[in-house]
A = this chain, B = another copy of it.
Amino acid sequence: MRPTWVDPPISSVRDVVARALAEDLGVFGDLTAGLIPPKATVTAAIRSRVGGVLAGTMTARATFEAVDGSVRVGWLGSDGDAFEPGGLVAEVSGSLVSVLTAERTALNLLGHLSGVATLTRRFVDAAAGRCQIRDTRKTTPGLRALEKAAVRAGGGVNHRGSLSDGILIKDNHLAGLTVGEAVSAAHARWPGVPCQVECDTLDQVRTALEAGAGMVLLDNMDPPQVASAVALVAGRALVEVSGRVTLDTVGDYAAAGPDFISVGALTHSAPVLDLGLDLEA
């Protein structure tokens, strides 16, 4: 059994599934499934058309169960497991009407979340262990808890869960304060809460260090600049790289020695993983 820390919280799972089903069932329910003889039962396979990393199993299972508590879902892997193209992901059995009614909502969730996990894994692999890959707050509204869990399934680590559990000071926030004043206020009011300062230049990195920031966020620097910043920091703070890092460039950035690279695309631009439900004979 895998650790539970890659799982999303049960409250979020229930909430998302209830809304997603209501959205898809509409006023009349599934008109097409209503054509089916009600006694028909089925065993079906969820298969991926492509390779990838699994995420969203709790959510997909909860979708089938919310439609019909007697549908059974057996997973062939856990969140975070890789699968091959054509690989069997799960077996679903029960009433044909129920399985087809839940199919699209379950696959939308599973495909989207596995897409996030898969893209994360690709960044993680490209970083080759030299630094950690983090997500951002650029998540899909309403799905943050699930997407952040999918990032964990992909091998990434999570940045802030909300504006409420981390401080990230940008130029925009100063409004007359110095960085030092802002960091001091942050430390005084929110002791123990991670406090980052965004830096566009080495000078700003120097200022942030003097201000006592625990982490610097290097924004839109190239790998050599990152290497210089890492050298400048010299372990006095954690270093995070941010700003349109791609799969092509992530290796170079990782080689420059930061602690983290954060990638908005993990959650805002991951293509869906193409999963389908095949009825079995």
Interface residues, chain A, with chain B CB atoms under 8 Å away: 1-5, 7-12, 14-16, 18-40, 66-68, 96-97, 100-101, 104-105, 108-109, 111-112, 115, 132, 137-145, 148-149, 152, 157-158, 161-177, 182, 185-186, 189-194, 214-215, 238, 244, 259-260, 264-265, 268-269, 271-272, 274, 279
Contacts and interface: CB of A to CB of B under 8 A. Distances in A.
Contact of A143 (B38, B39, B138, B142): B142
A149 to B, nearest CB: 8
Contacts of A145: 23, 27-29
Given A173-B33, A192-B166, A28 B9 contact: yes
B162 A38 contact: no
Contact of A148 (B28, B32, B174): B28
Contacts of A152: 189
B141 A143 contact: yes
A22 B112 CA distance: 22
Contact of A19 (B141, B193, B215): B141
A263 to B, nearest CB: 12
A24 B215 CA distance: 21
Number of copies: 6
11 contacts: A2-B38, A4-B34, A10-B29, A23-B142, A24-B144, A27-B165, A28-B163, A32-B186, A105-B141, A157-B189, A193-B194
A259 B172 contact: no
A96 B1 CA distance: 14
Contacts of A157: 189-191
B39 A1 contact: yes
A4 B67 contact: no
Closest 7 CB pairs of A and B: A26-B164, A5-B34, A27-B161, A26-B162, A20-B141, A9-B29, A165-B165
